[in-house]
Amino acid sequence: MQAMAAQASGEVELATGNPRAALSALRSAFSLWHQVEAPYEIARVRLLTALASRALGDIESAGLEFDAARALFEQLGAGPDLARLESLRKGDADAGRTQLTGRELEVLRRVAAGKTNKAIATELQVSERTVDRHVSNILTKLDLKSRSAATAYAYEHHLVR
């Protein structure tokens, strides 16, 4: 039950844009699933850990977690999970090419959620000017013209859920 609760907590944190808290819960879930030797659940947690790492801009760790999850899913013959992983992994390659920082990814997720710069600044405890600079950097790095285009990009590349 503790493993399921930790995993669910990690999924919720990830879905609500808090990848740092998600990682903490997912590491706990991984340890607990490992203790009871549950390979399928371990693979699922590793996939979620990859997504949280990617959300924080840690593409290298994300790649290692994706690879570990893939190996377990292959061992288990979990075809649908492999297909989902490959779909999510494509977003990993795209995110790696964009070279967005972890903070820029956080801002992009909030932009995609329809939040204003003022609301984002309040949530992240930074100035509106800082958020404006992040949005500008995001648009430049992704070669996009608007917040709407950035939102579409975020969804197309699985950077938001």
Cα-based distances in Å from 97 to 30, 71, 92, 141, 149:
29, 24, 9, 10, 17
**CA 51 – CA 88 distance, rounded (Å):** 8
Rounded to whole angstroms, how far apart are CA atoms 14 and 51? 8
Mean pLDDT of the chain: 88
CATH number of the domain located at residue range(s) 2-98 in this protein: 1.25.40.10
> Position 154: which residue type?
A
Q: Out of 81-85, 92-96, 117-121, pick the least confident.
A: 92-96
Q: At a CB cut-off of 8 Å and minimum separation 6, what does 85 contact?
A: 47, 66, 69, 70, 73
Domain ranges of the chain: 2-98, 102-156
Task: Calculate mean pLDDT across residues 56-79.
Answer: 89
- How does residue 161 score in pLDDT terms, banded at 50, 70 and 90? low
Query: In this structure, what are the phi and psi dihedrals at residue 44, rounded to the nearest 5 degrees?
Result: -65, -40
Residue 90 CB contacts under 8 Å (≥ 6 apart), including other chains:
158
Looking at domain 102-156, its CATH class is mainly alpha
